[in-house]
Structure 1
Amino acid sequence: MSFDTQVPAVPRLEIRNMVRQFDGRTVVDDVSMTIQAGQVTCLLGPSGCGKSTTLRMIAGVEMQDSGEIYVDGKLICDTVFRVPPERREIGLMFQDFALFPHLSVADNVAFGLKGPKAEKRARVEELLRKVDLIRYIDEFPHQLSGGEQQRVALARALAPRPRIMLMDEPFSGLDNRLRDGIRDETLALLKEEDTAVLLVTHEPEEAMRMADEIALMRDGKIVQRGAPYNVYTRPRDKAAVAFFSDINILEARVEGALADTPFGQFLAPGVPDGTDVEIVFRPQHVKLDFDRGGKGPLPTPAAGVAARGVVERARFLGNESLVEFRMDFDGSVLRATVPNVFVPEAGRVMWLTVRRDRCFVFPA
């Protein structure tokens, strides 16, 4: 009898229990993660949460206080043993492209290459064709646009065929019109090279667009990891919801596994009676109905009870409209977003309902 057992692939990059302290303050706190070849993981979090410090330790330009780093299953760094940065086969890309101004595009890309001159030239030309810059091979960085310089920096980082690419906010210096296209081109090229990528960003949209996996970081810890869809739709706490979008909050108390609110009851399974909770939902999950002689829509299991609000302000944002309501039940302000153009006048009465399957209940 034979059993078809699949052995898990050895991660291209693995970090275990990384800790870094500065002046007695822990800035990276027991961080562990794995990244497979060809996988893009985004380390996402607010400024100052330890993302860039984690990257610098993996690159070898900063030493951890404890923890281990493995590449293809081999130890490259702990607190005793350390492979020098230049021998780790790790590429680096930063917000500052750091191109050498006195070197041509070709010489910038070839800077980290070794071997015969003809082989180096062939690799440079191959990469410049991939990033559509072969026509600028003999130009200098100051003759290129910001987007073109970014692509030269990418080609230079990929030239030595690194097994891992570390990217620290590499697109933040580009304007919005360029950014999306260059991100997509960069991602396609990294996938083609089968490079494991760890991208640091504080922009949720960038993480959602580029990542196979998101590692959400806060106060030096990774608080949640998973596919972008799962991190967005199954957040572990209120802060995780708020990091990806604006939020509305209802306060309630649990009795009999139910939280009673002006929008009706919300299920709170496993929450002890008497617990104060916050019901969190995003503006895009608020449904609006017009007032009909002082009445709103009838209650439904999916949307609960309608609550009355008065428009305070509405504005069109380009692909959606944001409407702010002063709610009758407690005078609080709730926000709703509506696709396309919807700009009701201030003072208009409307009725709001909230999709139950898009709400999160957390202890207050």
Structure 2
Amino acid sequence: MQSQTQTTPPPRLEVRHLRRAFGDRQVVDDVSLTIQPGQVLCLLGPSGCGKSTTLRMIAGVDMQDSGEIYVDGKLICDTVFRIPPERRHIGLMFQDFALFPHLSVADNVAFGLKTSKDEKRARVEALLAKVNLGWAIDEFPHVLSGGEQQRIALARALAPRPRIMLMDEPFSGLDNRLRDEIRDQTLSLLKEEDTAVMLVTHEPEEAMRMADEIALMRHGKIVQQGAPYNIYNAPVDREAVGFFSDINVIRGVSKGALTDTPFGQFLTPGLADGAKVDIVIRPQHLKLDFDRDGKGPLPTASDGVAARGIVKRARFMGNESLVEFRMDYDGSELKVTVPNVFLPGEGTPLWLTIRRDRCFVFPAKD
């Protein structure tokens, strides 16, 4: 009996060791990634980290200094061979909708199609129905709202059935409430079309909401890549924690693989005696302990030791309150978020404990 060998299909998009420099500045530095059909990968990072340059090289509007780009296992670009942008089966969406004002909605959506008139019309009608804008087929862009224009831009980008969709901050020009609606609709339609998506954004919330996988980029390099849950809950370093949320940092010194803090001891294996340690915790994982009697810190089973702070400021943020403390132990400041309304007066002493299972321990960089 003969055994049948099953071959795994190649990724829809594969990028290998891309590099791009402008003068002496290395903007993209050895970036490699893959995206499967129907998968959304968010390239996330601060402005200037190389996200958009990476996207432009994949699209073919910029040329890499080194590295290779493959679509469905076939080379489309290296430093010698280069398929032009219009033949890469890659769609583009930007913050600027770039609709043609002199063309109707139908003609805008059909602009990139090279089929018969009847086939164009059928594809346009089908896509406009999916974005709930069938009524606007004969309108012109200037009569549509910003959100409606963005949906037209999406339909136009999808019309030629691209294998890959590259999106550079496409929702940043929309107000928050409309942005969520358009993002969800866009994601649903892209999944339905089985398009591989690379979304470039500097907004962690957007990446968490849309991505199957996040590639966190900094100074031209991908410093961490994985599912949103893993990136958020197992960050690679202090900067990665701080990119997704506010953080508190408790500084200590390692001795005998332990670091003493006002909140108790933390394990710090692998660090030399005398090494500085940053213990990082998000504000929502600090807790107020109202059972303290003012006589001093007491140990608890799950949260270590309590430390006292003095309220510096308290603000109501809508669904929660943000309370800022100046800590007794060294005068440093910590922030705590508390559900609902909690607004203690300035100067109020309160005891804090921390969720030890929610702390991240890193060697200090300074």
TM-score (norm 1): 0.97
> Deviation at 1:272?
2.1
- Which position in structure 2 is the counterpart of 1:44? 44
- Which position in structure 2 is the counterpart of 1:250? 250
- Counterpart CA distance in 2 for 1:31 and 1:12 is 17
Whichever residue aligns with residue 261 of structure 1, its letter is: T
- Counterpart CA distance in 2 for 1:295 and 1:152 is 65
For the Cα contact (< 8 Å) 2:45–2:218, is it kept in 1? yes
> Deviation at 1:319?
1.2
- Whether 2:150 is the aligned partner of 1:177: answer no
- Counterpart CA distance in 1 for 2:51 and 2:184 is 22
- Counterpart CA distance in 2 for 1:250 and 1:148 is 47
- Which position in structure 1 is the counterpart of 2:207? 207
| Range with bigger deviation, 266-275 or 223-232 | 266-275
Note closer, same or farther for the CA distance 1:62–1:234 as it changes in structure 2 (3 Å cut).
same
- Counterpart CA distance in 1 for 2:355 and 2:349 is 20
- Which position in structure 2 is the counterpart of 1:316? 316
> Deviation at 1:292?
4.1
> Deviation at 1:115?
1.1
- Which position in structure 2 is the counterpart of 1:188? 188
**Superposition pairs for residues 129-168 of structure 1, below 5 Å?**
129-168=129-168
RMSD across aligned positions (CA): 1.4
For the Cα contact (< 8 Å) 1:290–1:296, is it kept in 2? no
- Counterpart CA distance in 1 for 2:52 and 2:115 is 32
- Which position in structure 1 is the counterpart of 2:16? 16
- Which position in structure 2 is the counterpart of 1:261? 261
- Counterpart CA distance in 1 for 2:88 and 2:281 is 44
- Which position in structure 2 is the counterpart of 1:241? 241
For the Cα contact (< 8 Å) 1:291–1:350, is it kept in 2? no
**Superposition pairs for residues 75-94 of structure 1, below 5 Å?**
75-94=75-94
Whichever residue aligns with residue 53 of structure 1, its letter is: T
Report the secondary structure of 1:177's partner residue. Answer: helix
Whichever residue aligns with residue 170 of structure 2, its letter is: P
> Deviation at 1:6?
6.0
Whichever residue aligns with residue 207 of structure 1, its letter is: A
Report the secondary structure of 2:191's partner residue. Answer: helix
Per-residue deviation, residues 248-271 of structure 1 (Å, max 9, x unmatched): 011111111111001110111222
Whichever residue aligns with residue 304 of structure 1, its letter is: G
- Whether 2:197 is the aligned partner of 1:197: answer yes
- Counterpart CA distance in 2 for 1:113 and 1:3 is 44
Note closer, same or farther for the CA distance 1:336–1:296 as it changes in structure 2 (3 Å cut).
farther
> Deviation at 1:344?
1.4
- Which position in structure 1 is the counterpart of 2:304? 304
> Deviation at 1:2?
8.3
For the Cα contact (< 8 Å) 2:127–2:155, is it kept in 1? yes
- Whether 2:221 is the aligned partner of 1:221: answer yes
**Superposition pairs for residues 262-277 of structure 1, below 5 Å?**
262-277=262-277
> Deviation at 1:302?
2.2
Unaligned runs of 5+ in 1: none
Report the secondary structure of 1:86's partner residue. Answer: helix
For the Cα contact (< 8 Å) 1:290–1:349, is it kept in 2? no
TM-score (norm 2): 0.97
Report the secondary structure of 1:43's partner residue. Answer: strand
For the Cα contact (< 8 Å) 1:296–1:351, is it kept in 2? no
- Which position in structure 1 is the counterpart of 2:127? 127
- Counterpart CA distance in 2 for 1:113 and 1:169 is 25
- Counterpart CA distance in 1 for 2:166 and 2:292 is 57
- Counterpart CA distance in 1 for 2:233 and 2:73 is 33
- Counterpart CA distance in 1 for 2:307 and 2:8 is 52
- Which position in structure 2 is the counterpart of 1:230? 230
Whichever residue aligns with residue 87 of structure 1, its letter is: R
For the Cα contact (< 8 Å) 2:324–2:333, is it kept in 1? yes
Report the secondary structure of 1:265's partner residue. Answer: strand
Number of equivalent positions: 364
- Counterpart CA distance in 2 for 1:24 and 1:332 is 40
Whichever residue aligns with residue 153 of structure 2, its letter is: A
- Counterpart CA distance in 2 for 1:79 and 1:152 is 35
Per-residue deviation, residues 304-332 of structure 1 (Å, max 9, x unmatched): 10000111111111111100011000111
For the Cα contact (< 8 Å) 2:292–2:351, is it kept in 1? no
Report the secondary structure of 2:253's partner residue. Answer: strand
Identity percentage over the alignment? 78
> Deviation at 1:291?
6.2
Per-residue deviation, residues 20-67 of structure 1 (Å, max 9, x unmatched): 010121100000000000000000000000000000000000000000
For the Cα contact (< 8 Å) 2:38–2:191, is it kept in 1? yes
- Counterpart CA distance in 2 for 1:271 and 1:70 is 42
